[in-house]
Amino acid sequence: MKRTIIVPLVLATVFVGACSKKEETPAAASASTTAAPPPPPPKYDKIQRADFNRIAAELALPMFWIADANDNKSLDPEELAVYWGLGSAVLGQYVAAKEVAAPPVADGAAPAPAAVDAGPAKLAFTDKFATDYESIFKRQREGATNPPGLDPKEIARRDAVLKELAQGRVTLVQTDFTGATKEEKRFVTFILKAAETIEKIYAKQQGVDGMAKDLSTLEAASQTLFFRGQGPRCEAPLTQGNPACTAIPSAPTGKLSGLYPAELLDKPKFCEELSRKDKTLVDPFTVVVKGEKDKLEAKKYSEVYASEMQAVSTQLKGAAEALGETEPALKAYLLAAAQAFTDDDWFTADEAWAKMDGKNSKFYLRIAPDEVYDEPCSTKALFHVSFGRINQASLAWQQKLDPLKGDMEKALADLAGGPYKAREVAFSLPDFVDIALNAGDSRKAFGATIGQSLPNFGPVANGGRGRTVAMTNFYTDPDSLKATKAAAESLFCKDTMAKFTTDPAPQLMSTVLHEAAHNLGPAHQYKVGGRIDRDQFGGPLASTLEELKAQSSALYFTDWLVEKEKITREEADKAHVRDVFWAFGHISRGMYSEDKRPKNYSHLAAIQVARLMEQGALAWKADEKAANDKDAGCFSVDLAKFPAAAKAIVTEVAQIKSKGDRARADKLVKELVDLASDKKGEKKAVRDAITERMLRAPKPSFVYSIKLD
């Protein structure tokens, strides 16, 4: 478990050599004269790095200043990247190779030895870059301006769009494939092309594919907003729900989806009605359409998205062929997935995918319909691409946990109680992946998935034979680490901040345990009275409960591993503090989307924080200064009480899922998420403090750049 494209996608970040015409050098006037030295290249030091990246996005320019590597306070050609998806630009339009001329010498004199070989070509900015840089500088100097006579309603919309964008920080994920083989580079190119088409399918699933044509007439910031969120809606906490905030002025204000007839979307109980009417209508790999006499029918993805899915199939076959005789496990998956894109046989593709691991492939690829969270009924699987390279550091965790999988299943089954019974589990422990590209449902406006267990449906999922992965290269950039530390210092008291770390290891361990727990205990396909969790609880609540089970299991198994002497108490304590901070982050995003769809991770975070406070493992100290010595009021974690509190939380949710107890689940949400009994507003005040402090810094909005040459 655990967004259309508005213009052609950039397939790769490449360097393009500049073509220059050779001219004869005129004779020198005399032996004593020398040619004038070439002028120095212009310096691009008028804008600070953070402002450059922010304004470039506002102007729909897919440029990113990676880092000031040489600390010269100036943007150099080697420090620029162009990212995938926002427009059709490539790096070669902004940066070109420039021959290094030998130093000038007097007429008739022999060149110095060092000048005989001018050395490798250097990089230089192009005229296009200079023009766009001046546009960015002008925006910084003058601010955003509107055309004279613009309608006040349109001015309000544009202002809201800029406020939405300001709540995100463009964060680059760059992958260097220049050292890959010719075959591997060709393979990557096919995957990038397939990802382009996946975003078109995803746009149709989300019901926004027809809107992109309106963007070309709109200002640049709206184009960026549509690209970032793969749709017109604003999603940031301070602008979500603002009717003025939309990338498309004419966009509908109700629920959006291309998976159901439009007239159904505003009916309060239409998801439940579909399930009761005909089980085929909630098949995850179908679109609900109107047939004869307006009867609702389920139509397969391969029929509804025929041309796009055929295109993806062709690209995947090309990717398999490009690999030649290498990567047999990956080739098998590519060919099985190519077939599934023509006949919807996703389960056969899952079998091939589950056989891949960090030992038989250097790559990680998932291209399929999988997660269900971002659709109205949390039932239909949404298309996505996740592509990257295996990080071999995962082997240590696999060796540590693999012998314990059966014991972990038994421990969770004991907490869940009857009627659930422990079962044989054969899932693969997480591979660590350095993600190179997310597309479709995997590419979110804010943040990124840091762990995933797939598939969600079918024999591989039901048999506990799926794959779990932890994405290891998100939130590790200097900008993200700085923002994380500042937010933690504003929320934690000094005693707890002493246990906080920006080292990724504690959070990575929690991710590993979270994803493993999706394969343990009563999961999505577990039945009570012949009904799976979506039948028991409805799709959105079922998703919340499964994620709550997984994250609460991560808290519990952290201390369980201490008892097994697999990790130290110090490691467990740091993981607990990071997990509380993780929960604060999701609480700050709000509990519901603009169309009132539950935010599953926000719900689970609110439930966990409330229960931890009830158990005394987490306390709000209103009279104490936070670790930054500025904010009044802070959180203190009582690590001695944490293990018992974590055990109580996972026991509660495991029992709810084991028994299919809808009433108990509804009460959990009503009391701890919706704060129905918070008559004095004390709990809301604490939640508001979390939100205000977590939102001081913009949230990462990840973009991707792949360098092939």
Sequence length of the chain is 709
Task: Give the pLDDT band (50/70/90) at residue 99.
Answer: low
pLDDT tens digits, one per residue of 198-237: 999 999 999 999 887 767 788 999 999 999 999 999 999 9
In angstroms, the CA 328 to CA 346 distance is: 19
Judged by DSSP in three states, 332 sits in helix
| CB-neighbour burial class of residue 695 (10 A; exposed 0-12, middle 13-18, buried 19+) | middle
Task: Give the pLDDT band (50/70/90) at residue 430.
Answer: confident
**What tokens were used for 570?**
């110090």
624 within some domain: yes
pLDDT at residue number 411: 98
Of 187, 207, 232, the last residue of a domain is 232
pLDDT at residue number 12: 39
In angstroms, the CA 363 to CA 185 distance is: 12
Of 203, 232, 261, the last residue of a domain is 232
314 within some domain: no
450 within some domain: no
333 within some domain: no
Closest CA to 692 of 624, 612, 590: 590
307 within some domain: no
In angstroms, the CA 651 to CA 645 distance is: 10
Residue reference for tokens 């997660």: 371
169 within some domain: yes
Amino acid identity, position 690: I
Task: Give the pLDDT band (50/70/90) at residue 121.
Answer: low
Average pLDDT value for residue range 137-155: 95
Average pLDDT value for residue range 276-286: 93
Judged by DSSP in three states, 644 sits in helix
Q: What is the mean pLDDT of the chain?
A: 91
Task: Give the pLDDT band (50/70/90) at residue 33.
Answer: low
269 within some domain: no
C-beta separation of 265 from 254 below 8 A: yes
581 within some domain: yes
Tell me which of 34-38, 92-96, 427-431 is least confident.
34-38
Residue reference for tokens 């996703």: 346
Instruction: Give the count of beta carbons closer than 10 Å to the beta carbon of residue 143.
Output: 8
In angstroms, the CA 252 to CA 480 distance is: 35
Q: How many domains is the chain partitioned into structurally? A: 2
| pLDDT of 540 over the 80 cut | yes
pLDDT at residue number 224: 97
Judged by DSSP in three states, 414 sits in helix
Residue reference for tokens 């960090």: 358
pLDDT tens digits, one per residue of 620-641: 999 999 999 999 999 999 999 9
| pLDDT of 119 over the 50 cut | no
| pLDDT of 614 over the 80 cut | yes
pLDDT tens digits, one per residue of 565-597: 999 999 999 999 999 999 999 999 999 988 788
**What tokens were used for 128?**
């296009």
Domain that holds residue 528: 414-422+476-703
Characterize the bridge pairing of strands 383-391 and 95-98. Answer: unpaired
Of 168, 197, 232, the last residue of a domain is 232
